[in-house]
A and B are shown apart, each in its own frame.
Chain A
Amino acid sequence: DARVTQTPRHKVTEMGQEVTMRCQPILGHNTVFWYRQTMMQGLELLAYFRNRAPLDDSGMPKDRFSAEMPDATLATLKIQPSEPRDSAVYFCASGLVTKGRGEKLFFGSGTQLSVL
């Protein structure tokens, strides 16, 4: 049963610390997304990769957030330095883009981040 795997499930850290969240997309999928869920904003898109190349990271605070895909099996989202306002659930999702559109995304279970 293929699924998107995210680690860690929970992270509590102090303001100013570096946070790294990891995602293993479903094997064979060629798109990876990072979303953040907050109470007020719903699901916000932070970054989007296609075939490991970043296509859109306009939703990410550039001064402190960075997203990478070192290889096809790993995507990372880093926050340095972290701030209390970064506290949220961060979801990774993967999908398969084929000619045309309409494919659906598969989400991981998320990383619950708390910055004290």
Chain B
Amino acid sequence: DQQVKQNSPSLSVQEGRISILNCDYTNSMFDYFLWYKKYPAEGPTFLISISSIKDKNEDGRFTVFLNKSAKHLSLHIVPSQPGDSAVYFCGFKSRETSGSRLTFGEGTQLTVNP
């Protein structure tokens, strides 16, 4: 039961341009959404989040957009920098489950070329 889908396993952009990473989900009970970033040989680290009552949250170069009607989550990075090259996971939390159980997508490898 694949509740979360990151359709692009990889994305390559030029430094200074915008990076757009996408996630689609099917579970309408998801009410909190997060993005994590993972460098090689390290654990994922929290990047940005958004609750279902909002449709946009911005933190510096990173903006997360939520389209609840389309069940679509996206992360925009602008301008992209070579240090942003990493695997990005979208994470979803359901109001059905207690605590902080997160369901993650498969990840998208972002490469920012100098």
Interface residues, chain A, CB within 8 Å of chain B?
Answer: 4, 31, 33, 35, 40-43, 45, 48, 50, 55-56, 91, 93, 95, 97, 101-110
Interface size on B, residues (CB 8 A): 27
Taking a contact as CB atoms under 8 Å apart, the answer to whether B99 and A55 are in contact is yes
- CB pair B49–A104 under 8 Å, yes or no, is yes
Nearest opposing residue in chain A for B50, CB measure: A102
Separation in Å of the A89 CB from the closest CB of chain B? 9
User: How many residue pairs bridge A and B at CB < 8 Å?
Assistant: 68
Given A31-B100, A40-B106, A42-B106: A108 touches B93 (CB 8 Å cut-off): no
Q: Which of the residues A45, A101, A102, A110 comes within 8 Å of B43, measured between beta carbons?
A: A110
The reply to whether the CB of B101 lies closer than 8 angstroms to some CB of chain A is: yes
Known contacts A42-B104, A48-B101; 9 further A-B pairs (Cβ under 8 A):
A43-B89, A45-B102, A50-B98, A101-B31, A101-B93, A102-B49, A102-B93, A107-B43, A107-B45
In Å, the complex CA distance between A93 and B6 comes to: 22
Closest to A94 in B: B100
- CA gap between A110 and B45 in the complex, in Å: 12
Q: Are B98 and A105 neighbours in the complex by a CB distance under 8 Å?
A: no
